[in-house]
Amino acid sequence: MRAVIMAGGKGTRLRELTRDEIPKSMAVIYRKPILEWQIDCLRRNKIRDICIVTGHLGEKIREYFGDGSKFDVSISYFHENSPLGTSGALAHLEEILADPYFLLVFGDTIFDIDIGRMESFHRSRKAKATLFVHPNSHPYDSDLVVMDAQGCVTKFDSKANVRDYWYDNLVNAGFYILSGEICANIPKNSKTDLEKDVLMKNCGASLDIYGYVSSEYIKDAGTADRLQQVEKDIRNGVVSAKNLSRKQRCIFIDRDGTITKGRGLVYRVEDLVLEETAAQAIRLINRSPYLAVVATNQPSVARGLCEVADIEEMHRKMKTLLGTDGAYIDALEYCPHHPDKGYPEENPAYKIRCACRKPGVGMIEKAATSMNIDLSRSWMIGDTTRDIQTAKNAGMRSVLVRTGEAGKDGAYPAVPDMVCDALLEAVEHILGEE
């Protein structure tokens, strides 16, 4: 797979650092230009044929990288004499568009990604375009990607829209695998926006567009504040640690009584309320090398109190509320089953014994497989002995919190490794061991 890096922007938001002497993609982060960080990652992923699209001060990029041989890659260039937007230059790259697909990267992002996983997803879906999507800490002012259960993108929700609904925190990261087919109608010598003029116009059409959801590190370093945060993340090892080719550490978290108020069986959206410091706790996880994954039993579906759609709406509410406070979860697993029969309105389709219901480890193992999690270096935080037993069954350490049921359920004799007042204290203790 070949790669195209869009590095033609003027970078007005970084002018205090670049002083208009270098393009923004050459801004230095921890001793290397942004572009060099990108090329290093591409090379590690065996992507060595790279075309860099240049514009303002593009000669500075050519002087530094040349033909790429010093960086063990092959670099060609396309220069925009006038700005062509985020996709206009693609119309001029006929040789690359003739490939089955290629990688498109924006030149102001820092990323460390197992690109082979994304490519496998793209091929398995037979997609014409695959977007790297992820949760972020400010979904309320970000353009959101809306997808169906199979990951097919159904629409884009602009940050300019009024959102009077609960939404999934899934944001377009600006990292794509594209086919030449979806780029076929991009006009030459015309300023074109990839998302608005290409992707949005093809949503739901025969040109299938998919979202690849990943917890890996990718951030826009296009402002001075963001650049400083990215440099801090590089220094602290957060960037490299998130690459899914490496074993991940995870903090699994129960929902009811741990992240949200414990109110018995919560099956109405209006009854879901966050614990006071839950968002603060999850923000700390987001800034650490750990993943934040929710694993929750939701037997209300089996008992006939609500439908799967209601549970998913509650989870959208939880993600929206967390996002409002600058926090996000990397993944969420839930079990709608319950083994005991005899409830008046029960749903027999979900009245089964399963491997996913805690203290079974089905949800934990599913996340561990998909996100390459090392369970022996991971934790489970919950308010019941069922959560503590789940941790033991999965080979993880555990924390019991005194919120919710506070361990008084007495369902299992399991003893936690630690007891804390609430989720925030539990997370602080875990991260304090680093």
Q: Which two tokens mark 309? A: 């759609």
Q: Are 211 and 169 in contact (CB under 8 A)?
A: no
Burial environment of residue 431 by CB neighbours within 10 A (0 to 12, 13 to 18, 19 or more): middle
Please return the burial class of 3, using the count of CB atoms within 10 Å of its CB with bins 0-12, 13-18 and 19+.
buried
The answer to whether residues 380 and 418 touch, using CB atoms and an 8 Å cutoff, is: no
Which residue type does 39 have? I
Radius of gyration (C-alpha) of the chain in whole angstroms? 23
CB 358 within 8 A of CB 387: yes
Catalytic position from the list 197, 254, 330, 387: 254
Distance between alpha carbon 108 and the CA centroid of its chain, in Å?
18
> Are the C-beta atoms of residues 253 and 293 closer than 8 Å to each other?
yes
Pair 337, 296: CB distance under 8 Å: no
Of 233, 256, 330, 383, which one is the catalytic site residue?
256
Q: 398 and 379 in contact (C-beta within 8 Å)? A: yes
End-to-end Cα, the chain, rounded Å: 38
Has 233 been annotated as catalytic?
no
Active site residue 254: yes
Q: Report, as residue numbers or ranges, the catalytic residues.
A: 254, 256
